[in-house]
A and B are shown apart, each in its own frame.
Chain A
């Protein structure tokens, strides 16, 4: 078990180090998130009340698209110099490779979201911190779901020439339940309403989504990488 955790952390550290050396994907993702937030604020000029109502949808659309830019690079990074061959031939289970990459993606996507969130508050003049910790929990859960599905689909599409197009086409439909839950909860929390028994079914669904997709991805990744 310790060996497995060590392998996961080695892969995660490698991906983070490689990304932070070039900053290619994180710069693109962050720029995209900021530009979209800015453009929407000019395009709609909504009242504070309207902004609170649409905040969940707006934020999660931005997070999902910006996240896709990062997730696209996850396995594509391994194509350069045929590095994927070296990882596949190393004596580590596919699940360790997958979880290491998913964790690295999670940290990067979360970093972009946590920078974009205060800027959303500034651009739209919204106080979003009244349910801060619950909002952080929702973001953490939904981002893990988005990262897990994005990482497995990144592995699946790595050898496809149009992978940049294929990843969102495959990923977004499967993300609909998680995004719906995240949007509903985020709108409610930004409006200052805590999660109660009336809307905690969305939270349970987010947790279920994360557990199910993590388990399925861990189970399938070996097949995705080397075939049945």
Chain B
């Protein structure tokens, strides 16, 4: 069974089809890099896979179930354009909150562990609004990984990260892949993404222009997929 299945998905904004008959899949343990120009539909696709909005037509499945099923949501971790943590709460309060919402056995203990793993243990009681950008992003990474998701959906995860946050995220993503977790990430940072990816999908104006395993040509020349299958 695929970890992520996208079957004939259309998504409309008014009359405009942002996604057009998208067919994709990711097996358990795969890392799928979604690439494409701005406006190609990467974010829309990821948000639809995450269950933030329903497709106009077609079907999304996570391990065979709808992403809106309560138990399926427990399997997913999402990092979007925003950091999705509360400025008015401390780092520890934020992670404990999400630990409680995900029904973790000991939310505070897990939160403290993740604060340590992301290098934020010394500022655990500091309010997020007082954090630097890099610290906020590491907290967002901790929030997404906190509940041990089996499927990670990452929208431009490397954009605007500082060096330390990039290193933390890359380490966590490698560990996740080694644990057999599935990653779907949209990105413009081709080099970082292709280093991790097992598969690549190129979106062009809401359609899949290419979907297949990552090849040696792609790693050697990250622009190769665009040159071969993109608009040029």
A interface residue numbers (CB < 8 A to B): 3, 6-7, 10-11, 14, 17-18, 21-22, 80-83, 85-93, 222, 226-228
User: If the complex has contacts A17-B89, A91-B74, A91-B102, are A86 and B54 also in contact, measured as CB distance less than 8 A?
Assistant: no
B78 partner, pick from A10, A89, A227, beta carbons under 8 A: A89
Smallest CB gap from B68: residue in A: A226
What are some 12 contacts across the A-B interface (CB < 8 A)? A17-B93, A18-B88, A80-B86, A83-B86, A86-B84, A86-B143, A89-B51, A90-B98, A91-B103, A93-B70, A226-B52, A227-B53
Interface residues of B in 56-100 (CB under 8 A from A): 68, 70-71, 73-74, 76, 78, 80-89, 93, 97-98, 100
B interface residue numbers (CB < 8 A to A): 47, 50-54, 68, 70-71, 73-74, 76, 78, 80-89, 93, 97-98, 100-103, 127, 143
Cβ–Cβ contact A88 & B52, under 8 A: yes
B89 partner, pick from A11, A14, A91, A92, beta carbons under 8 A: A14
Cβ–Cβ contact B85 & A86, under 8 A: yes
User: If the complex has contacts A18-B89, A227-B54, are A83 and B101 also in contact, measured as CB distance less than 8 A?
Assistant: no
Give A84 Cβ to nearest chain B Cβ, in Å: 8
B80 partner, pick from A17, A80, A82, A222, beta carbons under 8 A: A82
User: If the complex has contacts A81-B86, A82-B84, A89-B76, are A10 and B51 also in contact, measured as CB distance less than 8 A?
Assistant: no
Cβ–Cβ contact A10 & B88, under 8 A: no
Q: Which residues of B contact A222 (CB under 8 A)?
A: 68
Cβ–Cβ contact A88 & B86, under 8 A: no
CA A90 to CA B68, docked complex, whole Å: 10
User: If the complex has contacts A88-B52, A89-B78, are A14 and B84 also in contact, measured as CB distance less than 8 A?
Assistant: no
B101 partner, pick from A18, A91, A228, beta carbons under 8 A: A91
Main secondary structure of the interface of A (DSSP, over half): helix
Give B9 Cβ to nearest chain A Cβ, in Å: 14
Q: A83-B86, A85-B80, A86-B98 are in contact. List 9 more A-B contacts (CB 8 A).
A: A6-B100, A7-B101, A14-B89, A82-B83, A85-B82, A88-B52, A89-B73, A91-B71, A92-B70
Smallest CB gap from A80: residue in B: B87
Q: Which residues of B contact A82 (CB under 8 A)?
A: 80-84
Give B19 Cβ to nearest chain A Cβ, in Å: 14
Q: Which residues of A contact B97 (CB under 8 A)?
A: 10, 14
Cβ–Cβ contact A226 & B78, under 8 A: no
Cβ–Cβ contact A92 & B84, under 8 A: no
CA A209 to CA B54, docked complex, whole Å: 31
Q: Which residues of B contact A10 (CB under 8 A)?
A: 97, 100-101
Smallest CB gap from B149: residue in A: A89
B54 partner, pick from A7, A17, A93, A226, beta carbons under 8 A: A226
Smallest CB gap from A92: residue in B: B101
CA A87 to CA B74, docked complex, whole Å: 12
Q: Which residues of B contact A22 (CB under 8 A)?
A: 88
Give B220 Cβ to nearest chain A Cβ, in Å: 36
CA A227 to CA B84, docked complex, whole Å: 20
* Residue picked from A11, A14, A86, A91, most chain B C-beta under 10 Å: A86
CA A80 to CA B83, docked complex, whole Å: 9
Cβ–Cβ contact A90 & B73, under 8 A: yes
CA A7 to CA B102, docked complex, whole Å: 9
CA A21 to CA B130, docked complex, whole Å: 13
CA A107 to CA B184, docked complex, whole Å: 41
Cβ–Cβ contact A83 & B82, under 8 A: yes
Cβ–Cβ contact B82 & A17, under 8 A: no
Give A211 Cβ to nearest chain B Cβ, in Å: 26
Q: Which residues of A contact B143 (CB under 8 A)?
A: 86
Q: Which residues of B contact A21 (CB under 8 A)?
A: 88-89, 127
CA A25 to CA B127, docked complex, whole Å: 19
A228 partner, pick from B54, B84, B89, beta carbons under 8 A: B54
CA A17 to CA B143, docked complex, whole Å: 19
Q: Which residues of A contact B83 (CB under 8 A)?
A: 81-82
Q: Which residues of A contact B102 (CB under 8 A)?
A: 90-91
Q: Which residues of A contact B76 (CB under 8 A)?
A: 89
CA A89 to CA B46, docked complex, whole Å: 12
Give B141 Cβ to nearest chain A Cβ, in Å: 13
Give B137 Cβ to nearest chain A Cβ, in Å: 11
Cβ–Cβ contact A3 & B103, under 8 A: yes
* Residue picked from B76, B88, B127, most chain A C-beta under 10 Å: B88
